[in-house]
Amino acid sequence: MRNLSVLDRRWVVRPVNQQSMESLCQKKNLNHTFSKILITKGITESNYENYIDPKIKNFLPNPFIFKDMEEAIKKIYLHIIHNNKITLYGDYDVDGASACAILSKYLKNLDVDHDIYIPDRVKDGYGPNIKAFEKIINNQSKLIIMLDCGTQSFDSIDYANKKQVDTIVIDHHKSIEIIPKAHAIINPNRFDEDGSYGYLCAAGLVFIFLVALNRHLINEKYFTKNNLITPDLLDFLDIVMLGTVCDVVPLIELNRAFVKQGLKIMSKRKNLGLKTLADMSEISYTPTSKDVGFKIGPKINAGGRIGQSDLGVNLLLSSEPENAYLISKQLHDLNLKRRDLENKVLIEAIEKADIEKKNNIIVLHSNDWHEGIIGIIASRIVDLYNKPCIVISAQKDTAKGSARSVHGFDIGLAIIKAKQKNLIIRGGGHAMAGGFSIEAKNIDVFKSEINHLLNKIDNKLNNDLLIDLALSPQALDDNFIKYIEMLEPFGSSNKEPVLMLNNIEVSKAKIVKNSHVKCFFKTVNRFIDVMSFNSVGKPIGEYLLNAKKSRFDAVCKVSINYWNNRQNLQLILLDLKVLN
């Protein structure tokens, strides 16, 4: 049998600067294995401390470096002191819910009259719309703050201006060179920003906005005059963390600090809604970013995907145990329904993707797919084929599309260019994800144009599997687990280390939950727990289940599995090479 990767991918071990590695070893008293992993992540002795123990104070910028921050603070302050009603208009995903919840909690501390509007995914679509603004304005709101949306909302903001209602946008999605005429647009991805903080999500931006507002209110002696306690912004970090993890923004610098510190706040279980949902998700230990991303986030997102769009924010603001339980149960049940829908659609999507995989970007569409799950399907296809993917639900004349990308192709920019060419009705996004609406009759033209756009990119996408280091299985001991914990929280731009293990023997392979294969790698003195997800019926799964005495080289992602207050190393299998 040929010595090829089962997935026909080229394995590339990242080069390591030996001098930097030796220096890190000596200066920080680390072993070579851990130092190698750190160097592949761009960590040297100069930024080691900020990586291992990221503190918010070391990364938090002066809020007023953001364009329009000063105007936004002055405007909201005027509405606060004049007791005007404020509406928070948030996106229906976890980041939108988190941003709304953080700002709502703060305004509640100030006894400010406000309400929250989360649009319905199906009825309203993404972002602000005139009908929603009409309702909000008729309900006597004088200021609308758009959170995690609004950067492309020209018509809605023009409508508010005509009605003499002020608008503020706090968003992180890419803008074109013309922006709406809101009173203030705080967005690190505005065309006229330098992009230094373009990695932030809406929840993180709201935290920075509140740092500025808090400072302004203190300077104006607002809390003293009104006999109010100054809010402790650190109490909001669990919700900032939630939005940051679930929006899959890069876990670097300030984001890494938000998540590291936010997980500590979440472990204190002060937020009743988060505590209740964590209990229902069987998270009884100190949570990890993986728990938040895979157990908490999908349940909150399920409300916006296929249920009631405001369930997520209502949970985060819940103060009654019974109410928190009922919402958590509702989200739990909706997530089960979402999974069933997803499994059915994924089978169909993979069949279509196998035909489309020759293209640089995989564009799939169907009249039968629920628009609430197309983003998840796009993510699954990206994972399987390592190519950007757009999935379109064409259930109506106006179809909805959701896009996910890989490093090297800015999908948000591609969507903006499609809008400029009038190929789509509206849409937006950031480098790794986006969404849009499109006339169903234009799907084929759109598909052709976006493939043409990708073909013009100099940085061609490739199918290489990048490996952090080659390692002996015997090195995966208890000390190795401790080192892996030091690398957490894991997420976008801080992935779990990818290891290459040589000459592995597979033992006790079995099918789990009809889709996955669980097995053990046999070493000289132990068995290592291994999972191969969604591999049943695929080449990797077949090799594992029929391994017998075959030996393999394996590429795996490192994970720590927490169960019954114990932690165990678990490897997530990515690819195999058959040796005999």
* 366 CB-contact burial (10 Å; exposed 0-12 / middle 13-18 / buried 19+): middle
* Residue 453 Rama label (left phi>0; alpha psi -120 to 50; beta): alpha
* Strand 433-439 with 426-429, pairing: antiparallel
Residue type, 189: N
What count of other Cβ atoms lies within 10 Å of the Cβ of residue 557?
A: 17
60, β-bridge pairs: none
CA gap 295, 393 in Å, rounded? 26
pTM for the full predicted model: 0.91
Positive or negative torsion for Cα 458, 462, 465, 470 = negative
CA gap 243, 317 in Å, rounded? 14
CA gap 388, 384 in Å, rounded? 11
Peptide bond connecting 489 to the previous residue in cis, omega within 30 degrees of 0: yes
What Å distances lie between residue 413 and 398, 401, 454, 475, 559, CA to CA? 21, 15, 11, 43, 33
CA gap 401, 409 in Å, rounded? 17
Q: What tokens does 12 get? A: 């590339």
Note the Cα 173 to chain centre separation in Å. 13
Q: Which residues contact 23 (CB under 8 A, 6 or more apart)?
A: 44, 45
What count of other Cβ atoms lies within 10 Å of the Cβ of residue 523?
A: 16
522, β-bridge pairs: 505, 527
pLDDT of residue 63: 98
Return the residue matching tokens 């609430």: 372
H or E element, residue 499: strand 498-512
Beta-strand runs (E) in 246-332: none
What count of other Cβ atoms lies within 10 Å of the Cβ of residue 377?
A: 26
Q: Kindly report the CA angle at 389 between 148 and 191, in degrees rounded to 5?
A: 40
What Å distances lie between residue 24 and 30, 44, 467, 476, CA to CA? 7, 6, 20, 21
pLDDT of residue 451: 84
Answer whether 545's CB lies under 8 Å from 553's CB.
no
Calculated CA dihedral for residues 46, 51, 57, 61, nearest 10 degrees: 80
373-376 long-range contacts (CB < 8 A, ≥24 apart) are 373/305, 373/306, 373/338, 373/341, 373/342, 373/345, 374/400, 374/401, 374/402, 375/305, 375/402, 375/404, 375/433, 375/435, 376/305, 376/338, 376/342
**Considering only CA atoms, which of 208, 284, 195, 216 is closest in space to residue 243?**
208
Domains of the chain plus CATH, in order, are 11-17+464-578 (2.40.50.460), 59-257 (3.90.1640.30), 357-455 (3.10.310.30)
* Strand 141-147 with 184-186, pairing: unpaired
**Considering only CA atoms, which of 490, 521, 523, 497 is closest in space to residue 508?**
521
Return the residue matching tokens 């969604």: 534
pLDDT tens for each residue of the chain, 580 residues long: 344 688 888 899 999 999 999 999 999 999 889 999 999 999 999 999 999 999 999 999 999 999 999 999 999 999 999 999 999 999 999 999 999 999 999 999 999 999 999 998 878 777 899 999 999 999 999 999 999 999 999 999 999 999 999 999 999 999 989 999 999 999 999 999 999 999 999 999 999 999 999 999 999 999 999 999 999 999 999 999 999 999 999 999 999 999 999 999 999 999 999 999 999 999 977 899 999 999 999 999 999 888 899 999 999 999 999 999 999 999 999 999 999 999 999 999 999 999 998 888 999 999 999 989 999 999 999 988 888 999 999 887 889 999 999 887 888 888 988 888 899 998 888 888 899 999 999 999 999 888 887 776 544 566 788 999 998 888 888 888 889 999 999 999 999 999 999 988 999 999 998 889 999 998 777 889 999 998 898 889 999 998 877 889 999 999 888 776 678 889 999 999 988 6
CA gap 274, 312 in Å, rounded? 10
Residue type, 445: V
Residue type, 434: G
pLDDT of residue 561: 83
Q: Which residues contact 161 (CB under 8 A, 6 or more apart)?
A: 167, 181
Q: Which residues contact 15 (CB under 8 A, 6 or more apart)?
A: none
H or E element, residue 510: strand 498-512
pLDDT of residue 462: 67
CA gap 564, 282 in Å, rounded? 11
pLDDT of residue 1: 37
pLDDT of residue 322: 98
Q: How many residues does the chain have?
A: 580
CA gap 48, 332 in Å, rounded? 39
Q: Which residues contact 548 (CB under 8 A, 6 or more apart)?
A: none
Residue ranges in 82-146 assigned as alpha helix (H): 94-109, 130-138
